[in-house]
Amino acid sequence: MKYKLLFSLALIALFGSCKRETVEKKYYVISNADSISEAWKKSAKVPPPFTPHNLKWYSDVVFILDSSKVYAYQTERTHTGSGNNVDFEYPNYIGLNPEYFLTIDSENFVSFIENNNDIFGIFPDNSVQPIIYLASQTDTVKNIALPQLWEKLKDSKSRTFFSVRRTTEEENIVLSYKKKNKEFLPEKVKWSTNFYNGKVKPFTKDYQKIEETNQLIRKAKETFKQKKMSIEM
């Protein structure tokens, strides 16, 4: 009887400890506004989330946070039609390709962007306030790169704004091709209508008509291969 009691107490202590660890470990939840708000309250020196007009989806640099990797790519503003800038509900097709992605190990992410700050411009520069986008394929972000980035931004008193969002359909598909090392032929992909107004697919006449009326849009660009990246950690 004595041994049964001790065994029961040990189990209670074990599961109680596991429960406390589970409760105390909090992750960044994109869809949870309270989670996002609290995260920035606790990071007082970090600028609040900021989404500029007509930059709902992309800025100069986008970082996709996978489970153990960070995939980075760049975009640029492109002049297209002669119409107005329209803030559509869905993103435009940016022409992303697998080779445009730069792959970084999560644990080395902060060191990597520090060593290449001349390219990313994330850390202190009082003349500018960079805007970067962090994207995740899951609603709950468990990648260690995110909290480590927050801490570094706080410590360095960076003025960088950043916004966290779910990955787009295009990012998911192109990233899948990269991971599988498969040839990517965008014209043969079965795209949904989740572009611009949610009613058009890329590579169609209807899509082209809308793009021709949008004066400034974002397009992906291949630049990382043209620059010498520092890999020192």
Task: For residue range 39-83, list pLDDT tens digits in order.
Answer: 656 655 555 555 665 577 888 889 999 988 999 999 988 866 566
CB 136 within 8 A of CB 168: no
Q: Is residue 216 part of a domain?
A: yes
C-alpha distances (whole Å) from 141 to each of 67, 70, 146, 167, 231 are 8, 12, 8, 12, 25
**Contact (CB, 8 A) for 46 and 150:** yes
Highest mean pLDDT, choosing among 45-49, 112-116, 155-159, 225-229? 112-116
**What distances in angstroms separate CA 108 from CA 79, 149, 233, one per listed residue?**
36, 11, 7
Q: Count other C-beta atoms under 10 Å from residue 97's C-beta.
A: 15
The conformation of residue 56, written as its DSSP 8-state character, comes to S
**E strand or H helix that includes residue 31:** none
Is residue 20, in this structure, part of any structural domain at all? no
Tell me how many domains the chain contains: 1
Average pLDDT, the chain: 79
- pTM of this structure: 0.80
pLDDT tens figures, 168-188: 999 999 999 999 999 999 999
**Within a domain: residue 11?**
no
Domain extent, residue 98, equals: 28-226
Q: For residue 193, tell me if it sits in a domain.
A: yes
User: Quick check: is 233 in a domain?
Assistant: no
Residue, of 154 and 69, whose pLDDT is higher: 69
